[in-house]
Chains A and B, each alone.
Chain A
Amino acid sequence: MIHWEDEGILLSARPFGENDLIAQVLTKEHGRHAGLVRGGQSRTKRATFEPGNRLHVRWKGRLAEHLGNYDAEVLDNISGRLFDEPGRLAALLSAAAICEQAVPERDHHPVFYEGFLALLAHLESEFWGEVYVRWELAQLSALGFGIDLSGCAGGGDNDQLAYISPKSGRAVSLAAGEPYRDRLFTLPLFLLGKGNGGGDEIAQGLKISGHFIERHLFHPHDRSLPSVRDRLLENFL
């Protein structure tokens, strides 16, 4: 029998049969890992398996390839604290859905876990919208689809970056992008480290990250972005 203990963040828990759940947990040492939770739909266990909760998990299975069984204890019940915050709750669900789609299964990449943990830590802060956009862009970057803000793709002034190309994901300067401005994304200033970003800038950031997440992570699997992400965007419009 193989067993391990780890720390993780619950991404999803889907009912299996009458009493059990299949939980997807983003773990610190074992990557995104699924497991069966016996009696997970019971009154005593259901609250443990809410998306975003930080858990101490114990997994055991006869072979490493098996689905195996999870047992868990809550370390931090984050979702419960966000129940009255529609925008932050939408951000939490959207992040969980994107992680479930994007993070490779059973592949140890601490960057995803640490990134999600940092996002959760900031979801209750004032600048959660900005942090969320940065988190999505960091996910893209970790998977090899990051946007490039290091210089102007059109050979323009690197100090005057104002747009992002929806094709290449590279920044474009104000002068070089002017003739094509209708076809380019406006670059929010907070992504250049200028200011904290108001609602308009965060909405613009979400449009940019959403475009690339949909194109690189969801479209290849014939899926569209989760609807909760649209509601998150509406929160800033």
Chain B
Amino acid sequence: MAKSEIDRLAQLLSRLPGLGPRSARRVVLHLMKKRESLMLPLAKAMMEAASSISNCTICGNLDSENPCGICQHPNRDDSKICVVEDVGDLWALERSGAFKGRYHVLGGTLSALDGRGPAQLNINGLLDRASADQVQEIILALSATVDGQTTVHYLSECLAGHEVEVSKLAHGVPVGGSLDYLDDGTLTAALKSRRSTR
């Protein structure tokens, strides 16, 4: 392989999250050393993924099938839709195994400072899905940030005309968290959301 091709590969790899130019060169060397066992299968897997994976037209999830596996799954609860910012959040909820309903990927949050408005998010798709008869609850699982909560309020207003219950995730003390180390905002939210122990 010519030097220019190695440089090009290193340059492309350095654009990946967590990699800089130096670590990209180390990855290139590692791939070159394991050409048969790693580099070629990796290249093949990437080609296949690039050609087959797309966004689900229903929920926005990434999958090789369209509609995605979650939207097609017959045993999932059709009455609940969990709204998340992006696919990473959907994966996090799936890892927890706590939610067995359907999802809707919004594609970000509203941001006054970055000029990101409702038109840039997949809100119309959500409103269409909320109109379906079987949907009873929309769970807004968005970040506990100013932008995330602004989006929650906006979506709540948009969904006010639909006959669905709209809920959002609780904010409070994390599992394994000590009150001593919590920030004021989390403590305030936890106190506001306290519930009876009986």
Interface residue ranges, A against B (CB under 8 Å): 11-12, 14, 18, 46-48, 50-52, 74, 76-77, 79-81, 83-84, 86, 89-90, 92-94, 96-97, 100, 226-229, 231
Contact = CB atoms under 8 A, between A and B. Distances in A.
How big is the B interface, by class? 20 to 34
A78 to B, nearest CB: 8
Given A51-B113, A77-B184, A97-B113, A90 B192 contact: no
Contacts of A229: 112
A52 B185 CA distance: 12
Nearest 5 pairs of A and B residues by beta carbon:
A80-B185, A86-B153, A228-B112, A77-B185, A77-B184
Nearest to B185: A80
B161 interface: no
A47 B146 contact: no
Given A93-B112, A228-B112, A47 B186 contact: yes
Contacts, number: 74
Contacts of B185: 47, 50, 77, 79-81, 83
A207 B171 CA distance: 35
18 contacts: A18-B17, A48-B183, A50-B145, A50-B185, A76-B184, A79-B146, A80-B183, A80-B186, A80-B189, A81-B188, A83-B144, A89-B149, A90-B150, A93-B150, A97-B113, A100-B113, A226-B112, A227-B115
B114 interface: yes
B177 to A, nearest CB: 12
Nearest to B19: A18
Given A83-B189, A84-B192, A231 B154 contact: yes
Contact of B110 (A12, A18, A228): A228
Nearest to A225: B112
Contact of A83 (B112, B149, B184): B149
Given A18-B17, A52-B146, A89 B184 contact: no
A197 to B, nearest CB: 23
Contacts of B157: 86
B176 interface: no
A89 B150 contact: yes
B148 to A, nearest CB: 9
A13 B186 CA distance: 19
